[in-house]
Amino acid sequence: MSAAQGIAAILTLAVVLGWARLLLWQRHAPASSRARRWRLAALLALQPVAAVLLYCTLFPPAAAGKATGTLVIATSGAPRFVPTGPGERLIALPEASGVVGAELLPDLGTALRHYPSAGALRIVGSGLEPRDRQATAGWAVRFEPTGEPRGLIALQPTAPIAAGARFAVTARAEGIAGGSAALLDPASRIVDEQPIGPTSDIALSGTARAAGTAIFTVRLRDRSRTLIEQASVPVWVPASAPARVLIRAGAPGPEVKYLRRWATDAGLAPRVRVDLGGGASLVDTPPDMTTAALGKVDAMILDDRAWDGIGAGGREAVAAAVRGGMGLIVRITGPVPRGWQVLGLTAPGTADIAPVTLQPDAPSDEALAARRGPGTRDAPASVAGARDTVPVLTRQAVTLTGGMPILRDIRGTVLAASRSRGRGKVALISVQDSFALVTSGHSDAHNELWSNLVSDVARRQAGPVVRIETPAFAGQRMTICGAGPILVTDPRGDASRALVDPATGAAGCAGYWPSVAGWHRASGPAARPFYVYPANALPGLRAIDRRDGTLRQVGGGNRESVRTLEYDHGPSWPWFIGWLLVAAMSWWLERARAGRT
C-alpha cells in the first residue's frame, strides 16, 4: 500500500468515527441541547469535505489537460512536399533532406521535448532510425510508409569459411525482376551470374583461395543492363592449424592417389594407409585404430572395403572417436550388402553404376577463369580444361538415407549426405571416380568437392566465440557478444572498448558505435575481424529495416489513443486554506447555539 492509499484509509476511518460521534451525541443529548435537522446534516456533511481537503493538501492533484495538435515527422525517404493539415507541425529528422517548410531537429526525442503539448505523431517516409523508436512510447502514432524501395532489400552475410571452399551469397532484390545479379571478386571479375526471377531471390557463390579478409561485390542490373546497385560482400577466411586427415583404402587406385595430392596441396597433414591384400599394405605412419590415437585426428576418409576390414573393434574405436568430435567420410566403391550401414547412415540400392553430371563450376568461361585464379607452377591455368569439358563421373546406384544432403548433381540426385553423431559427424559419398576431374583439367572442381566434404564433417575447433550483429553501419550502434572484455580496433588503428550491457548476463553483449567504414577487429579471448558498411550503403535494406522496426514499435503502424498531458503536482496552499475554513466552520457549528432545539 502506498503512502497516499494509507492516508486515504485513515481519513476515511476518521470520517466514519466522526459520523458515529455526532449520531451518538444527538441520541443521548438532553432535549434542550439536540441539534435541529439542518444543523446535524451540515455537521455530517462537513466531515468528508474536511477529509478530502486535507488529503488534497498532502497530495495535491496534478494539473491535467488534453493534448492537442499533431507532429508530422519526416524521415528518410519522405517526399519533398509533405502535406499538413490544421494543427499539424512539420518536423524533419536529419535523414530527411530537402523537405520544404520543415523544422530540422536532431532526433525525435528533441522534437517531443520542444513540443510537449502535441497530442499525436504522424510519421512519413521509410520509418524511424533505431535511436528514435523508443521515444514513441505513450504517444498516439500513425505511420504512413512510402513506396517499396528498388534494389537490394535483403543480404545474408557469409559465415567464416575454409580456404579454397565455396561460399554462398543469398539476397533479395525488389523492383528489378527480369534483370540480372552478378558476384564480382576483389579484382572486379565476374565469378557468378544469374537472372533475377519473379520471386526476386538471388543465390550466388564464389571461392576464396587464401586466408584473410576480402571484399566481393554483388552487382544488380535491370532488363536494359542498366546498373541499379552495387553492394559489398565481406568474406573472412580464418587462418587455422592444418587439419589432421587420415586416409585409408582397401585397395590401391587413382582415387586415393589424388585424394592425397589434394590434401597435401590444401595444406593439410594427410597420413595414408592402402591395403594391398595378403596382410601387406602401404603405410604412411597412420595412427593406431584406438580411441586415444583417433582423438588426435580431425577427419578420416575410408572406403567401404577399409571400413569392413578394420573389424568390429576398429569400427567401435572409430564410432567413439566420432562421438568425441572426429569427422568420418566413407566412400562407397561397390555394391552394398543388405543391411549395411555406417553409424546410422544407410545406402540401400543395386549393383548398377549410374552417371553423374556435376553442377557447372561457373556461368561463363570468364567466371571460371576468375575462380581458378592464375594457377601454380605445377598446375598452370593454361592446361586447365574448358568449361564444357567437365567429364561425366560415375556413382554406385544407392539411395543415401538417414542424413542431410551435402552434395547433389545437376539433376538433384544426392551424392553425399551427413549426420551428426555426438560431437562429430559422419558422411557417405557414392561418387567413385572424382579423380577424373583432375585428369581432365578440372582440379579446381575436385578440390572444391573434397574441401566442402571435409569442411562439413571435420572436427570443430573449440574455443570462445564472438557473435557480431551484421550488417553494421558507420555511425550506428551495433552489438558484439563474447566472453570477457572486448576491445575493437578500427581501420585507422584507433582502439576503443565496447560498452558491456550488464542486463545480458553470461552472454556478455556490448554496444559499439563504429565511426568509420571498413574492416574492424575485435580483440579479446576470441579475436576476429568484422566489416562495417558506410553510412549510406545498402539503402534498400536499411529502408526495409526502418519500416519493419517502426511497424513493430507502433503496433502495426497505427497506434491510436488519447494522450493526456500530466505535469507536476499543483500547489498545496489553496487546499490547506479550504481545509482551515471547513474545520473552523465545523468547530463553530458544534459550539454555536444556533440550530439547537
- The string of DSSP letters for 477-501 reads -EEEE-SS--EEE-TTS-EEE-EE-
143 and 558 Cβ atoms separated by less than 8 Å: yes
349 in the same domain as 208? no
405 in the same domain as 259? yes
- The string of DSSP letters for 155-208 reads EEPPPP--TT-EEEEEEEEES-TT-EEEEE-TTS-EEEEEE--TT-EEEEEEE-
- Cβ-based neighbours of 589, under 8 Å, separated by 6 or more: 39, 42, 43, 46, 595
- Domain contains 462: no
* CATH code at position 269: 3.40.50
354 in the same domain as 323? yes
300 in the same domain as 363? yes
Last residue of a domain, one of 188, 218, 239: 239
* CATH code at position 208: 2.60.40.10
Last residue of a domain, one of 457, 481, 501: 457
- pLDDT digits 0-9 by tens, 558-593: 544 444 444 445 678 888 888 889 888 888 877 776
266 in the same domain as 216? no
Which of 212, 237, 211 has its CA nearest to residue 159? Answer: 237
547 in the same domain as 491? no
* Other C-beta atoms lying within 10 Å of the C-beta of residue 110: 14
| CA–CA separation, 446 and 437 (whole Å) | 6
Asked if residue 364 has pLDDT above 60, the reply is yes
- Domain contains 301: yes
E strand or H helix that includes residue 419? strand 414-421
| CA–CA separation, 540 and 544 (whole Å) | 6
| Strand ranges across the sheet with 201-207 | 151-156, 166-174, 201-207
- Domain contains 302: yes
Asked if residue 557 has pLDDT above 60, the reply is no
Q: What's the rounded mean pLDDT across residues 534-544? A: 87
416 and 400 Cβ atoms separated by less than 8 Å: yes
Of residues 279 and 418, more confidently modeled: 418
What share of the chain in percent tops pLDDT 90?
Answer: 3
Provide the strand spans (E) within 208-298: 212-221, 227-237, 244-249, 269-277, 280-283
50-89: b (≥16 Cβ within 10 Å) or e: bbbbbbbbebbeeeeeebeebbbbbbbbbeeebeeeeeeb
| CA–CA separation, 122 and 134 (whole Å) | 15
Asked if residue 483 has pLDDT above 80, the reply is no
- Domain contains 463: no
90 and 73 Cβ atoms separated by less than 8 Å: no
Which of 181, 184, 164 has its CA nearest to residue 232? Answer: 184
Least confident interval from 213-227, 269-283, 577-591 = 269-283
Asked if residue 376 has pLDDT above 70, the reply is no
212 and 238 Cβ atoms separated by less than 8 Å: no
- Domain contains 352: yes
- Domain contains 466: no
- pLDDT digits 0-9 by tens, 124-175: 988 888 888 888 877 788 888 887 788 888 888 788 887 777 788 888 888 8
| CA–CA separation, 503 and 482 (whole Å) | 14
426 in the same domain as 356? yes
580 in the same domain as 564? no
Cell of 178: 527480369
163 and 237 Cβ atoms separated by less than 8 Å: yes
Instruction: Count structural domains, the chain.
Output: 5
222 in the same domain as 297? no
Least confident interval from 201-215, 451-465, 554-568 = 554-568
447 in the same domain as 311? yes
| CA–CA separation, 27 and 23 (whole Å) | 6
Which residues span the domain enclosing 312?
Answer: 244-374+385-457
311 in the same domain as 443? yes
Position 587: which residue type? W
Last residue of a domain, one of 214, 239, 264: 239
- Domain contains 132: yes
- Domain contains 596: no
- Cβ-based neighbours of 196, under 8 Å, separated by 6 or more: 173, 176, 177, 178, 179, 180, 181, 202, 220
- pLDDT digits 0-9 by tens, 402-442: 888 888 888 888 888 999 888 889 999 988 888 888 888 77
* Other C-beta atoms lying within 10 Å of the C-beta of residue 104: 12
134 in the same domain as 14? no
Position 285: which residue type? T
